[in-house]
Amino acid sequence: MNIKTKLRLSIGLLFVMILLLTLISSKYIYSLRDDTTNILADNYQSLEYSRNMLTALDQMQADPNARLAFQTNLKKQKANVTEIGEAEATQRVEDHFLELLSDRNQTNALPLIRKDISEIMGVNMRAIQAKSDKAVLTVKSAIAWILIAGTICFIVSLTLFINLPGSIANPIKALAESFREIAGKNYAQRVHLDRKDEFGQLAGSFNTMAEKLEEYDNSNLSRILIEKKRIEALINNMHEPVIGLDENKIVLFANEEALKITGLSMSDMIGRSALELSLQNDLIRALIQQPQTASTSGSQPALKIYANNKESYFEKEIVDITITRTGERQKAFIGQVIVLKNVTMFKELDFAKTNFIATVSHELKTPISSIKMSLQLLDNHHTGEVNEQQRQLIESIREDSDRLLKITGELLNMSQVETGNIQLTIQQSKPEQILQYALDAVKTTVDQKDIKLMILVPEYLPDVKADLEKTAWVLINFLTNAIRYSQPESKVLVEIREEKNAIRFSVKDEGKGIDSRYRDKIFDRYFQVPGSAKTGTGLGLAISKEFIEAQGGSIGVDSEVGMGSTFHFELAKA
């Protein structure tokens, strides 16, 4: 039975019971009222008429109006005959009264009239008694019936009072609880209501919904799990070692290659803090270390790791993972992925190239030097006179061999730098001495281009901690560049000044300057500003940087296009 019918039936039953109770009560009240009214109308009046007739009879001798009063009351009595035997008694009163009227001496008639009136009174008094008894009986049965109806009403109300609120509220409570569980993603929740009413249907619909949600959730979960497996397989099959960290540097995943190079097992790594692991594992420490600066491209040295049964080189890349969470705008950092690129092959090729360059430049140095020597001999008048044309040819050969010597020198220096074989002899050196060394070297070039070389050196300068030869080489490189990239007859200023803890060497020219896009790149190997004369090798500044940084100093350039450039380096005071 559904709730609607149940409610209708219960309230209807209550309604019927109340109606029944009202009807029963009314019926009995009406019948009691009828009884009372009847007693009054039927019997009380008759008694009144009889009493009046008796009074009139007594006064008849003295009062002539008494006869009329008797007749009036008799007439009323005749009209009010209600009881059995009353009509006969009234008739007898009339008969005897007529006899009394016809014969005044008929003294017998008087007692007979009195007797008849008494009979009328008696009949009515008995009737009153009987009606009173009946009323008492009516009251008794009224009480009984009202009690029965009232009790049924009470039982029905009590049953409804006890059962109805529970039968409506309990399933609502159970459903509300289940909805809360579903909201908390407990899709296994079901409602068990063994009823066929609306609540039963609601519970059925709820269970279907929960089942579908569970199915959907499971299918989503399994899809996510499949995706996770796929990504794991993908990462595992990568030849590059990959390690994933969360925002607290807890290791989330590591592929086979990463395990191989770190020498750790899966259980050693997963779920452990990378910081904690780095205390025991040097490689992990090197991996999680953030790059210091990202200023110069490719400046991160490759990591040398023993892998694949040989010394291998890896380039580390740390990728920050950020996501925009649902409903949020700001990106949130959720972790990092460390990828190691195996660059061993490139390194090997690089070594081979460096060795080749070193060998070739070394081998070229001797023949070039002997060419230079021969040129010097040719210049000497003991070897014979040369004409003007021959002299010019000799000069051009000298320039070319000087350039060749410079190039081979730079290549040799570079191969030393690349193999990490820079031999430094750092000692307490005089800045003026370094300057003089450089000025001597560029003297001819300065003269050739008619450059106005200005020197700004304070009277007193403290010594520097430097490798004299290498530092002079850098200064020479600065000066040759300044001369090379300046117009003839322009000014070049060489300045040495004392700073807080260092001595700063700078060369300022009035050349075309360097575009800001290339300012960082000019210190990279083989880089030449696009559009500039390709006379050099693009190695000079790279070697200078290596030389200065190897001595613990710093190097840099300030430049504006069209305003010239100032190349400078600083070395620590001795």
Per CB under 6 A, residues contacting ligand ADP are 477, 481-482, 485, 509, 511, 514, 522, 527-529, 532, 536-542, 565
Rg (Cα) of the chain, in Å, rounded?
A: 66
SS3 string, 407-472, reads HHHHHHHHHHHHCCCCCCCEEEECHHHHHHHHHHHHHHHHHHHCCEEEEECCCCCCCEEEEHHHHH
Q: How far apart are CA 542 and CA 488, in angstroms?
A: 26
Q: φ and ψ at 155, to 5 degrees?
A: -65, -45
> Are the C-beta atoms of 3 and 199 separated by less than 8 Å?
yes
Q: CB of 250: closest distance to ligand ADP in angstroms?
A: 45
Smaller CB separation from ligand ADP, 431 or 540: 540
Q: Which DSSP letter does residue 129 get?
A: H
Nearer to ligand ADP, 250 or 422 (CB): 422
> DSSP per residue over 26-78, as a string?
HHHHHHHHHHHHHIIIIIIHHHHHHHHHHHHHHHTTT-TTHHHHHHHHHHHHH
Question: Which residue of this chain has its Cβ atom nearest to ligand ADP in the complex?
Answer: 536
Output 10 or 532, the one with its CB closest to ligand ADP: 532
* Closer of 171 and 513 to ligand ADP (Cβ): 513
Distance of CA 377 to the CA centre of its chain: 84
Distances, alpha carbon 546 to alpha carbons 365, 481, 555, 573, in Å: 22, 17, 9, 19
Handedness of CA 220, 221, 222, 223 (dihedral sign): positive
User: From the CB of 469, what's the least distance to ligand ADP, in Å?
Assistant: 18
114 vs 521, beta carbon nearer ligand ADP: 521
Helices assigned H by DSSP within 240-343: 256-262, 266-269, 274-280, 282-288
**Least Cβ distance, residue 523 to ligand ADP (angstroms):** 7
Q: Least distance from C-beta 410 to ligand ADP, angstroms?
A: 7
**For ligand ADP, the closer CB: 49 or 485:** 485
Q: How far apart are CA 137 and CA 461, in angstroms?
A: 143
Residues 6+ apart with CB under 8 A from 237: 255
Give the single-character DSSP code of 509: E
Q: In angstroms, give the least distance from the CB of 556 to ligand ADP.
A: 12
Q: Is the CB of 5 or the CB of 296 nearer to ligand ADP?
A: 296
124 or 480, CB closer to ligand ADP?
A: 480
CA angle, 104 then 108 then 114, to 5°: 100
Could you tell me the smallest distance in angstroms from the CB atom of residue 446 to ligand ADP? 14
Q: Is the Cβ of residue 57 or residue 543 nearer to ligand ADP in the bound state?
A: 543
Q: Which residues pair with 491 in a beta bridge?
A: 452
